[in-house]
Structures are given as C-alpha cells and as structure tokens.
Amino acid sequence: MQQDHMPATHNNASVRLALIVAVSALVLSGCLFKKDNEEENESGAQIIYNRAKKALDNGDFTNSIRYYETLEARFPFSNQARQGQLDLIYAHYRNNSPESVIDAAQQFERENPTHPRVDYTLYMRGMALFRGEQNYFHKLLRVDLSKRPPKDARDAYSAFAELLRRFPDSIYAPDARQRMIFLRNRIAAHENHVARFYLERGAYAAALSRANYTLQTYDGAPTTPETLQIMIASYRSLGMEDLANDAEKVLRESYPQAELTETADYDDAGKQPWYKFW
C-alpha cells in the first residue's frame, strides 16, 4: 500500500517545483521589465534634458523653456526633471519673464523646501523683482523711481533677506547684501517722496509721522538729510520750534555739507488746497 502512494508524492513534489520555477520566472520577468522601464524612462528624460540644456546654452530660450516643461510633464520624478526646474528658472530670467521666474522659483521651494539649492531659487526670485525695479523703459524715459510705489523693491528686499537668514554662507549672499543696500535706499527715497507730498499739501502731522518712520527705519540712507529737513519744516509749520531746532542741530552736526532747505518753499505750497496744482 505504501508503494502505491510513492508515485503520487513524487508527482506532488514535481508540481510544487514547477510552480516555484514558474513564479520565479514571473518575478524575474517583472524585475527585468521594471528595470528596462526605468532605463527607458531615464534615457528619455536625459534626451529631453540634453535638448533643453543645448537650447539654453545657445540662447534659444523659448525652445529651452518648452523642453524643460515637457521634461517635467513626462518624467516628473526623474533627477533630470528636478535639475530642469532649476534651469527653467534661469531660462525664464534670460527670456525677460520675471513673473514666470517668480512662479517657477516658488513652485520649486514648495515642492523641495529642504533642497540645498533653495538659496538659488530665493536669489533668482529676488533678481526677478530687482530687475523690475531696473526696467529698461524707466531708464530710457528717466523715470524718477522714488515716485513709484516700491512694491517690487520691498518684495525683492524680502527675498534677499530670507536668503541671508537661511543661507548666510551661500555664494549668492554677498551680491544679495549689496542689492539690499540699493533697495533699502530706494524704499527710503520713496518714503521721503510721500512725506513731501503731505508736507506740500499742508498735512504737516502726516508728513512728520512719515519722516519720523523713515528716520527710524532707514537711518543712514543717503536720503536721511532730506528726511531731517522734512521733519524740521513740519515741526516749524506746527509751531514746535524747540523740536525743529533739535532736528536742525542733528542735521548740521551729522551732515555738515547738507544745505538747509528754506521752509518757506513748503509753507507756500501748503497754503493752497491739495487739489489745486496751479
């Protein structure tokens, strides 16, 4: 009886062995297919990246941008797509598209908050906003930037400040510091413009408040002597002679080369209603 069962046991073992071999073959086949697929994806991503980089290096920014966007759409999780996002920021910058630079930089920062190249995206975001301050047509038409609202200047200053706070040793830090000095002076000049606007229309308290804020926030800016003069004129117009004399003393001691503006110029302007310009 035992001998009758031996062939059955042998057959069962053969079946199990065949199943193991078949499963192993399927697993190996799947691994090879996955590997081939990954290699194909890697190869495709590299081809598109190379085309994008070549177009960028050749100054063909429009096609470069198109390739980088295609790369991100088709292979979003590839290493090439990550580098392509950084290259795309620069391509937009060279293509004179500051808003696209800002959008691309902010997208990278959202998706990669701890990436070591976030210092670059912050720098380029600041540069795009800084370029808005240095618009070609403003230079051509000799526009007085102090009369323009400094929103871009404030935003650029904020981006550079965040760069210095988070990445003080970044290779972009020295240049960011220099640009922040320019932007700080630009904002201070605009604050003086607003204070003069109030002063020339007889709103002396508002002019004084604005000048005081400017002095506290942007002390040492090249426009500080003018800020002090606005304060002197405002104090005198409000009948606060002692405070006016104190401010004048600070002006003469700190800026001996500064010429004191006659307050009569402001007083005459302040006597007419703000809505009359002639």
pLDDT by position in tens, the chain (length 278): 444 444 455 566 665 655 655 555 555 455 444 444 444 456 889 999 999 999 999 999 999 999 999 999 999 999 999 999 999 999 999 999 999 999 999 999 999 999 999 999 999 999 999 986 555 434 444 555 555 567 889 999 999 999 999 999 999 999 999 999 999 999 999 999 999 999 999 999 999 999 999 999 998 999 999 999 999 999 999 999 999 999 999 999 999 887 776 544 544 444 433 223 22
* Contacts for 93 with CB less than 8 Å, ≥ 6 apart: 101, 124, 127, 128, 131
**Which of 184, 250, 190 shows the shortest CA–CA distance to 218?**
184
